[in-house]
């Protein structure tokens, strides 16, 4: 039995992936924009105030999906990095490196919105809470992958070195996720359970899940868009890339 399906093997071809990503990305961006607009309207306008936090809680409709995406993005980067190191697939190297800036952006938004939420709830912008600290470490791991990749001139060698760092840093993911369980922290525990009962009103839950779907679609669209540019940088000397660049210049 083949480990990599034939269709996936064909899609890993840079020209095939470039065309596929070009066709898919506008649909992903458009869907993310539509779902995000509906989710924000549902969360900021339709959802009722929280009985304890009032309207201050509404920042969760941005904070929580971005927090989920900070972990999801790193997981995607680590999977692509593993494929890049084991099978030496060029496309996997590109995708792993392009996941890093997008994931770092979501992590940064998570920390900023968490501080904005923490000020009225905890009375401080920042505290060295286990969840906040591990999320900050996650941002530094993203920065480390980005910095190492850009520090080495050979892009393929740089991608492999940065991929190794990404795999080492994956140990931080369970720490971020379970920090509120393992330690006594100020950060509240999880209120959304995909495999059980969620401790949140349905009127608040559906906009939150809609925003989560929107951020996932945006993540994939952004990574595909960046991967197309990254492929052209790596494959610039190939005929298909030169022809494409020439066509774009003459258009």
SS3 annotation, 137-179:
HHHHHHHHHHHHHHHCCCHHHHHHHHHHHHHHHCCHHHHHHHH
Structure confidence at residue 1 (pLDDT): 40
pLDDT of residue 185: 75
pLDDT, position 84: 94
pLDDT in tens, the chain (251 residues): 455 566 666 778 899 999 999 999 999 999 999 999 999 999 999 999 988 888 989 999 999 999 999 999 999 999 999 999 999 999 999 999 999 999 999 999 999 999 999 888 888 888 898 999 999 999 999 999 999 999 999 999 999 999 999 999 999 999 999 988 887 776 776 777 665 667 788 899 999 999 999 999 999 999 999 999 999 999 888 888 888 877 777 76
Predicted pLDDT at 7: 61
Q: How far apart are CA 108 and CA 246, in angstroms?
A: 37
Predicted pLDDT at 166: 98
| DSSP-H helix ranges across the chain | 6-11, 14-41, 60-87, 90-122, 130-151, 155-169, 172-182, 202-234, 239-250
Residue 54: predicted pLDDT: 87
What are the angstrom distances between the C-alpha of 8 and each of 81, 85, 97, 122, 220? 17, 17, 20, 48, 17
- Which pLDDT value is given to residue 247? 78
pLDDT at 246: 79
| pTM, 2 dp | 0.93
Q: Identify the pLDDT of residue 236.
A: 82
- pLDDT for the residue 213: 98
């Amino acid at each position: 039995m083949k480990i990599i399906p034939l269709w996936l093997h064909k899609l890993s071809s840079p020209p095939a992936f470039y065309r596929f990503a070009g066709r898919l990305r506008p649909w992903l961006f458009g869907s993310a924009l539509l779902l995000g607009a509906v989710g924000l309207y549902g969360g900021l306008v339709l959802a009722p105030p929280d009985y304890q936090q009032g309207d201050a809680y509404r920042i969760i409709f941005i904070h929580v999906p971005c927090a989920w995406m900070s972990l999801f993005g790193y997981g995607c980067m680590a999977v692509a990095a593993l494929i890049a190191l084991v099978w030496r697939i060029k496309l996997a190297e590109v995708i792993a490196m392009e996941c890093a800036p997008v994931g770092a952006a979501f992590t940064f938004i998570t920390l900023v919105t968490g501080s904005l939420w923490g000020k009225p709830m905890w009375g401080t912008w920042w505290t060295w809470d286990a969840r906040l600290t591990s999320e900050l470490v996650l941002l530094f791991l993203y920065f480390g992958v980005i910095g190492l990749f850009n520090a080495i001139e050979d892009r393929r060698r740089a991608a492999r070195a940065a991929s190794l760092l990404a795999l080492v840093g994956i140990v931080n993911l369970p720490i971020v996720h379970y920090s509120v369980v393992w330690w006594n922290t100020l950060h509240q525990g999880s209120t959304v359970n995909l495999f059980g009962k969620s401790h949140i009103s349905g009127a608040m839950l559906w906009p939150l899940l809609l925003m989560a779907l929107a951020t996932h679609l945006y993540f994939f669209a952004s990574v595909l868009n960046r991967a197309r540019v990254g492929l052209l940088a790596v494959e610039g000397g190939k005929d298909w890339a030169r022809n494409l660049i020439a066509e774009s210049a003459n258009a």
